[in-house]
Amino acid sequence: MNKTVYTIFFFIALLHTSFAQNVMCGHDMVRANMEKMYPGYQKYVDQTFEDAKSHAKNIRQTNTTYTIPVVIHIVWKEEEEKIDSSLILSQIDILNEDFQRLNEDADEVRDEFVDVVGNPMINFELKDIIYTQTASDYDVNIFTGALPDEVKFSNQGGSDAINTETHLNIWICKIQPIIFAGQFGGQLLGYAYPPNDLDNWPKGADFPEGEFEGVVLDYRTVGRNNPFPIQILPDQEVTLSKGRTAVHEVGHYLGLRHTWGDADPGFPNSCNVDDGIQDTPNSGIQSMFDCNLYQNSCNNSPFDLPDMIENFMDSASENCQNSFTAGQAALMRGILETSRCVLVDACQEVSTRQLITVPINIQPNPSTGIFSIKGQDLILSNFHFTLFNSAGVTFPLPLHNKTIDLTDFPPGVYFLQGQDETNRIQQKLIKK
Residues of this chain that interact with Zn ion (CB under 5 A) are: 25, 27
Least separation in angstroms between CB 127 and Zn ion: 25
Least separation in angstroms between CB 407 and Zn ion: 37
List 249, 310, 318, 337, catalytic entry:
249
Closest CB to Zn ion among residues 247, 343: 247
- CA pair distance 224, 242, nearest whole angstrom: 5
Closest CB to Zn ion among residues 33, 419: 33
Secondary structure class of 74 (helix, strand, coil): strand
> What pairing do the DSSP bridges indicate for beta strands 168-173 and 215-218?
parallel
Active site residue 249: yes
With CA atoms as reference, report the closest residue to 222 among 206, 201, 253, 243. 243
Closest CB to Zn ion among residues 200, 259: 259
DSSP 163: -
With CA atoms as reference, report the closest residue to 387 among 376, 371, 401. 371
CB distance 369 to 400 below 8 Å: no
Distances (CA, A) of 416 to 294, 346, 393: 52, 20, 12
- Looking from the CA of 106 toward its CB, the CA atoms found within 13 Å total 16
Closest CB to Zn ion among residues 320, 373: 320
Least separation in angstroms between CB 311 and Zn ion: 11
Least separation in angstroms between CB 24 and Zn ion: 6
Ranges of beta strands (E only) in 162-214 are: 168-173, 178-180, 183-186, 190-192
Least separation in angstroms between CB 252 and Zn ion: 6
Closest CB to Zn ion among residues 27, 152: 27
Residue 88: count other Cβ atoms within 10 Å of its Cβ.
19
Cross-strand partners of 374: 361
**Residues labelled as active-site residues:** 249
